[in-house]
Amino acid sequence: MELDYLATVLLSSLSSASILLIATIGLAVVFGLMGVINLAHGEFLMIGAYAALTATQYGIPFVIAIPIAIAVTMTIGAVVEVLIIRRLYGRLFDTMLATWGLSIAFYQLAVLIFGTVTPGIGMPQFNLRIGNYSLAGYPLLMIAVAAVATVFVYVLMTRTVYGMKARAAIQMPEMARAIGIESARVNTLTFAIGCGLAGFAGAVLLPIVPATPSMGFAFVIKAFLTVVVAGPVTLTGSALTAVGLGGGASVTASFLTSVAGDAFFFLITAFLLWLYPLGITAKWRTKM
């Protein structure tokens, strides 16, 4: 095995893992922290992608289109929380049914508004050469993006007043209210942040995965599995799981076949859940 091949495999696997982590991080907040199974997570990702795409079509640079996409998905997320999710806290199956209905509605709305095919924005045409191999540059950039996003959410949830309130409002709503935290409003914001992170993922991944009404689908299954395997320490757990499972699957795909890569992902997930039914971080004593 040549060294340059090995280096490209490692780098690109790390970028695959990062892409998975970017798509998962919003779910880590909504599902991991709030315990809400948001089956419309993939559709929020799709909304983010379309928001960024529409912004670029109006001539706005891609870099500025990303915050626009976040704002749009956060707003929709806040409205969804107030209208639907708020009424269903603690009712797991009702939440699933409601968000799943929402996902169908969002999907069909996207078909009606944008049609079935829309022009993509293409991938920035720069690449990295290692020996005889060259790698597309933009996916590699996702490694840095994933790291920044993870640190951002970690700091937000552990080092800020809002973060403390958010965790208090979900873990002990009565006590939180007793000491003057407006838990309803904090929950709305937390759900909106989760949706905003999904929107961010859709927007930042737009050059890699073109915007289509069904695009959320490709991510949502692996994202959910990642969060479930991660367990109670959601953020650190998700980062670890994404690198392990996503990266491992990519390495397997490089040396064997793409099917073997997928098989690796699902088999290891099943094995880990058998070993740690409550997630790999079940016995940790950290916060996020």
Partner 1 sequence: MTLPRRFSFSETAPRISNLGSWARLLRAGALTLAGTLCLAGGPVQADGGIKIGSIFDLTGGLNIYGIQQNNALKLAVDALNAKGGVLGKPIEVVSYDAQSELSKYTQYANTVILRDRVSALFAGLTSSSREAIRPIVRKANIPYFYGSLYEGGACDKQTFVTGPSASQQLSVLIDWAVKKYGKRIYIMAPDYNFGTISAHWVKDYAKKAGAEVVGEDFLALTVTDYAPTIQKIQSVKPDFVVALPVGANQTGFLEQFAAAGLKDKIGVVSTNYGSGNQQVVVSPAAGKGLIADQGYFQVVDGPANTEFVKLWSAKYGSDTPIISEAVDIWNAVHLWAAAVDKAGTVQAAPVIAALESGLSFDAPNGTVTLEPKSHHLRQNIYIVEGDDRHGFKVVETFKDVAPSYENEKCDLKANPTLAQHFAPDGK
Chain positions contacting partner 1, by CB under 8 A? 5, 8-9, 12-13, 15-16, 19, 39, 96, 100-101, 104, 108, 111, 115-127, 132-139, 207-210, 212-215, 217-221, 250, 253-254, 257-259, 261-262
Q: For the CB of residue 72, give the shortest distance to partner 1 in the complex, in Å.
A: 21
Please say which residue, 160 or 258, places its beta carbon nearer to partner 1.
Answer: 258
CB of 116 to partner 1, least distance (A): 4
Q: How far is the CB of 84 from partner 1 (least distance, A)?
A: 16
Shortest separation between residue 67's beta carbon and partner 1, angstroms: 22
CB of 178 to partner 1, least distance (A): 38
Nearer to partner 1, 139 or 199 (CB): 139
Q: How far is the CB of 100 from partner 1 (least distance, A)?
A: 6
Using CA atoms, how far apart are residues 260 and 254, in angstroms rounded to an integer? 9
**Cβ distance to partner 1 smaller for residue 28 or 49:** 49
**In the complex with partner 1, which residue's Cβ is closer, 172 or 218?**
218
Pick the closer one to partner 1 by CB: 63 or 125: 125
3-state secondary structure the chain: CCHHHHHHHHHHHHHHHHHHHHHHHHHHHHHHHCCCCCCCHHHHHHHHHHHHHHHHHCCCCHHHHHHHHHHHHHHHHHHHHHHCHHHHCCCHHHHHHHHHHHHHHHHHHHHHHHCCCCCCCCCCCCEEEECCEEEEHHHHHHHHHHHHHHHHHHHHHHCCHHHHHHHHHHHCHHHHHHCCCCHHHHHHHHHHHHHHHHHHHHHHCCCCCCCCCCCHHHHHHHHHHHHHHHCCCHHHHHHHHHHHHHHHHHHHHHHCCHHHHHHHHHHHHHHHHHHCCCCCCCCCCCCC
| Closer CB to partner 1, 163 or 213, in the complex | 213
